[in-house]
Structure 1
C-alpha cells in the first residue's frame, strides 16, 4: 500500500511539474491571442468596408518595434474628443470596427485603434513591457497631430485594454484627459485562478489569502489594481454583470480602489452585459452614460479651462 501511494504521489508531482513547465514556457500564448482559431493574423476588413474614412498609421515603439494603427475621423474638422482605443487580448483591431463605427456616430469623436506588437500588421511579439511602450508611442503620435484637440484625448480600454490604458493614463497625467474601463481584471495573477482553478493555490493577487509562491514566474502580471489608485484623471467603469470571462467583482474592486483617492470615478453596470457584448446589450443607456461622462469631465472641463485662461488674459491686460 505504501509503495502504491508513493508511486501515485510521484505521478501527481510529475504531472504538476510538467504542467508548471508548460505554463512557464507558454504563458504568453495564454495571455495574448493575436490570431483567433480558424482565422488568419491579417485584417479581415478595413474601415473602408464600413465607409469610415481612415489613415494607415505606422509607428515605432521606444525599442524600435514597428507598429500599425488606424486613425478614423467621420467629420473632417471634428474638434470633439479623440478616443485612443485599446482592445481585448484576442483577435485584432478589425474585429472591433463595428463597435468603433457606432462609437463614432454616437459620441461624435475621432478614434485611434492601435495594433499591439504581434497583433494585426504590427511586428514583434507581445509582452507587458512591450505593449506599454506601444501605447506610449500611440499617445505620442496623437500629440504630434495638428488636426485634433490634444486636450481631449480619452483612453478607452476593454479587458486587457483596460490594463494597458490604466498604465498609460498613470504615466501621462498631463496628456490623457480621462479613462474609460470596460470589463477589466484586477490582475493576471487573479485571472490565473479563474482560468485554471488549480493555479489559485500557487498564483494570485489581491484576491488571494497570503503570498503565492509562483507569482514571480508570471511575466505579464498586469496588476491594474495596483495602478488604478495612481491614476489622477476621471475614470468611468463599465461593467457587464453577466461577464463570463472576468468576474464582475474585479471591476467593483477596481472602482473601490480608485474611489479611495478620487471623487471623479463613476461606476455603471449592465445586468445583461457579457464580456464582449456589454456595448450591445447596454443599448442606448451604454452610450448615454459615456456621453454624460465626457460632457462632465472632458468637454465641459475644457470649456471651463478655456474660460479660466481667457479670464486671466483679460486680467493681465
Structure 2
C-alpha cells in the first residue's frame, strides 16, 4: 500500500511539474491573442519602424494640434474604434497602432518590445505635434503599456480602462495553485510604473469584471501618491464597458482640452 501511495504521489508531482512547464513555455500564447486581429497592410494608413520591424495602424483626424494614443486589450482589433473616436474626439489626432503581431504589424508581441514600441510611437507623435498635448488611453493589457509610457514620457492626461497592479498578480489570482508569479516573463508591473505619472489620471473599472479582479485594481489605486479620478460602471463587465453611455461621457469629458475634474 505504501508503495502504491508513493507511486501516486510521484505521478501527481510529475503531472504538476508538467503543467507548470506548459504554463512557462506557453505563457505568451495565454497572454496575447493576435490571430483574429490580422489585416492586410494596405488597410492601414499609418506606420513606423523600430529595430527593423514595421508597425502599422490607423490615424484618425491627421494634422490636429493635440494627439491621443490608444493601446488596446490583448485580443482587440484597435481599428474598430476609428469611427467612434473620430466622432468622440474631433479636435485631436488619434493614433491606433497595432501591437507587434497584431493587425498588420510585423514581429511578435512581448513586454519589452511593446514598451519600446510605445516609446517610439510617443516620440514620433511628439515630432508631429511639437506644440500640442499628448494624452493616452490604455485598456486592459494596454493599461500596462500606458502605465509604463507614463513613467517615461510626460502625458497631459492618462486614462486606464480596467487596469491592474501587475499582470503577474492577475495571473496568480486566476491560477492560484501554480507559482505563476515566478513563471511569468511579461509582468506589466503598473503598480511600479504608474506613480511616476505627473499628469491627470482617470481610472475606469467594470463592476462585473471577471478578467481583472477588483482587488488588483484596488491595489493599483492604493499605490498612487495622489488621488485619481475613478469611474466604476457597476453593470459592466470587462469586455462591454465601452458600450455604456457613462463610458463615453467620462472619456470625452476627461480628454476635452481644459476639461474640468469629474464629479466624485
Q: Given the alignment, which residue of 229, 232, 235 partners 1:266?
A: 229
Give the secondary-structure state (helix, strand or coil) at the position aligned to 2:160: strand
User: What is the Cα deviation at residue 110 of structure 1?
Assistant: 2.4
Q: CA deviation at 1:43?
A: 5.8
Measured after TM superposition, the shift of residue 262 of structure 1 is: 2.3
Please tell me whether residue 42 in structure 1 is matched to residue 39 in structure 2.
Answer: yes
Cα deviation code 1:106-127 (max 9, x no counterpart): 3323210011111111111111
Contact residue 43 and residue 92 of structure 1 kept, 8 A: no
Structure number with larger C-alpha Rg: 1
Aligned partners of 1:84 and 1:112 also within 8 Å: yes
> For residues 263-317 of structure 1, what are the alpha-carbon distances to aligned partners after superposition, in whole Å with 9 as ceiling and x for unaligned?
4x2111001111121111x31x22222233234xx5369xxxxxxxxxxxxxxxx
- 1:222 aligned partner: 188
Residues 275-294 of structure 1 aligned to structure 2 (within 5 Å)? 275-280=238-243, 282-283=244-245, 285-294=246-255
2:262 equivalent to 1:299: no
Q: Distance in 2 between matches of 1:238 and 1:43?
A: 32
Q: TM-score, normalised by structure 1?
A: 0.75
Deviation (angstroms), 1:150? 4.7
Residue pairs, 1:137-216, within 5 angstroms:
137-145=120-128, 148=129, 150-173=131-154, 176-199=155-178, 202-204=179-181, 215=182
Within 2, Cα distance between the matches of 1:291 and 1:19? 45
Structure 2: any 5+ residue segments left out of the alignment?
A: none
Give the number of equivalent residue pairs: 259
Q: How many angstroms apart in 2 are the aligned matches of 1:150 and 1:127?
A: 32
Kindly report the root-mean-square deviation, in angstroms, between the aligned alpha carbons of the 2 structures: 2.3
| 1-structure distance, mates of 2:131, 2:170 | 35
1:238–1:100 CA distance, 2 compared to 1 (3 A): farther
DSSP 3-state at the match of 1:129: helix
Alpha carbons 1:82, 1:149 under 8 Å: kept: no
Distance (Å, rounded) in 2 between the aligned partners of 1:166 and 1:151 = 21
Instruction: Calculate the TM-score normalised by the size of structure 2.
Output: 0.89
Instruction: Give the aligned partner of residue 114 of structure 1.
Output: 97
Structure 1: runs of 5+ lacking an equivalent: 47-54, 205-214, 302-317
